[in-house]
Chain A
Amino acid sequence: MRKAWLAPVLIVVSIVLQLTVLNGLRLPGGGVPDLVLVVVAALAVADGPMAGAIIGFAAGLCLDLAPPGSLLIGQYALVFCLAGWGAGRLSRAVGRSPLRSVVLMAIVVAAAEVLSSALGLVLEPAQVTTAEVRVVLPATIGYDLVLCPFMLYLVMLAGTVLAEGLAAGAAAVGIRGVPARREGAQRRQHRPHQPHLAHAAGRTGDGWVGGGGDRHHGTRPSARTRVRFRPANGVAGSASGLRHSAGSLPHATPSLRLAGRRRGDGAIGNYVGSGSASRGGGPGRHPGMLTGASSRQFRPRGGQAGGSATAQYTVRRAPSGPGRGQTPIKFGGHRGDGALGRALGSGSLAPPRRPAPATPRLRTGTGRSALTTRGSAPRAVPKVQFRSAARPVARRPAAVPRFRHNSRLRLHGTTSGLVSGGVLGQSTFRAGRQRAGAPRLRFATGRRGSGPPGRGMLGGSGRSPLRGPSLRIGKQPRFGYGRRSLLSFLTGRRVGGSWLARKRVGSRSGTWLIGKRTGGLR
């Protein structure tokens, strides 16, 4: 919190400086900067409309009363009060951009000077003449505008230094350009390296989770930051929880899809290695990166209905590659076999149409998918090898997918390297409101008939390649479809869970359901 005495001290100092030093200056043009007005505007930009109005009124009144003042008492109070309120109000409207704040300040200051001159012309015609205004007003406004950015910076710096200490203040001002305004603003501020969850795309069942690349999935967020999810906000491969270098940032937006449209669908898949491979730099930085596939680019094909269980990935060569056709590799899952971390898809892998010998390829594994339910065709286990890769991707350590409290998923050194890490670490979900209880994010239930109704897991898949359904016995959803309804209340039984589930899934998105529960997303 900004120190309360900052504004009075600044105002008094600026008034004394204005009266003793600035007004005595002989500057070209005939005017002198109105330091008090600029300080009022800067404080208002920093503190908001109410504080701005009060500060402006007080500063103006002091300026009216301070000894050489010969105008009517209240003139400057009126003008500065309006200026402070206006600056504070507009600063909330324009956001936190430094440039816009300065422009806004300039507008407000110029308007206040004009208003002050007009008021003087009306109220004190003997002291203020039109010729004087014509000479003094432009020069004064000009000097004010010169002063604006410096005073804004100074006020911000002072506030930040007082609030956070010298080093933090300097860092905040120096790095971010605009230091923190207030704590509330800080909290509202966008933090790029935190997972956010916000409204998904408009479709039912879409929920995108993306985390920043610089964040380990296990890192617990600070207590005062709320977990928010934002659509398409992440960095490719961020779900793996490993740090990225700047060079490996993706072109495409990763989407970590939770839940599918249909129950029992969906997986948490992230586009491992998407985009970054096309740069060709730094092979092996990321466990999921397509090593050496510099001419390749994974392009997510948008969201398929039903979430990423049926997500298709198309591996394309760069258009510049001579003599190479497109090699679409589709990872299609079928309904019901979504999996945690099926990054490159565990479903049927469409073979490349025309495999080029020198081109890195995905080799489909032959193992039978653990999550195959139909048993009709052998599903591919994601096992990706590239010929040009120095070592198998699968050997690389993978991040631990942690989507559940007390997850039994463990890191196996030799497990599939494409298992995506969990950006939804349990600690992430325990922040904020859900701190007390276990994270219960259920986007979809299990399939009907596969267990007690209303069971679900993150990602919505009824099945995981790594865990059988039996492991989830005993879990009851805390919210979602198995919630006690009026019907169940009346009948005393948990009636209607699945029916309600169908109803709700049909009309509400999983994100909405989360938001309804957590109260944070609307």
Chain B
Amino acid sequence: MCGIVGFLDTSGALGPVGATLLGMLEALAGRGPDSSGVALWGPLAPGVVVRIKVGEEGAADARWREVVRRAGRLARVEATTWEGSLLRLVVAKAEVGELAAAIEAIGSDVEVVSIGERLEIVKQVGPPANLAREFDVSRRRGTHGLGHTRLSTESKVDLSHSQPFWAHGTADLAVVHNGHITNYHRLRRIYEQEGVRFYTENDSEIIGIYLARKLRQGLSLRGALEASLHDLDGSFSYLAATKAAFGFAKDPFCLKPLLVGESGGVIAVANEEIALQAVLPAGYRAREAGARAVATWEVPERAGPSGAEPRRAGARRRAA
């Protein structure tokens, strides 16, 4: 199975998206207890936020100093903190691919989990309840986010194989997937010949790589999602987002569930209604997405660097 969730406030206001995603994930925890994670798009950072798995080898503190030293050669490091198993760096504007490569050159077990002006991914081995304990997710504010709780079927269970997947090298693009991409090996061979690095044996990883290529070719997120219906085989409901857009795609055979709930300007998407129940006010509209369904929403650019919440007209019920 696997549980996937997504949440967006289309007004672009910063809300308690961390707590919302956790609520949705905990409701879906029965779909997979192996690992869980969230991707959150928060206030604009002064530069980029980098989340790093520092690896299993050597002392973590030595690795930390090495990460800071290498990142510092490329751009000023504004802040560094540990949160759970992940190191968090705020780095002044830098070329994303170069920055990630410099950090990952420390060791093969060092992985940049996400880079973005607004995106941060946190994930771990264990169910969503552990996620809340390890990372301070419930206090995180943002405009939108994705979440995943995994039942592993074909690849190993560790932090790198957990979702959400950052599209390595592309700032602010992340994906969560429920299903199985059956032409994964064929696509992987093609991409590897072109020099793309794969971090896992998890077929879901290829979706982010695919979408990043389409965005680089000039397609919108919507265009990329639509193209994927033709190029990806198998069963899939997946959600993808950038700092500016949020959307989903569903396979032609409707083999994986995906329910879209709407209430006011709030969109909540999940495999099962129980996750919508956890966060939407009564009276929301919910509908199962159909074969080849693609939908995208724009995220208005309102979340400024200060993180201040923009004023809105009128009072509206908000998801908790």
**Are A and B physically bound partners?**
no
B binding-site residues for A, Cβ under 8 Å? none
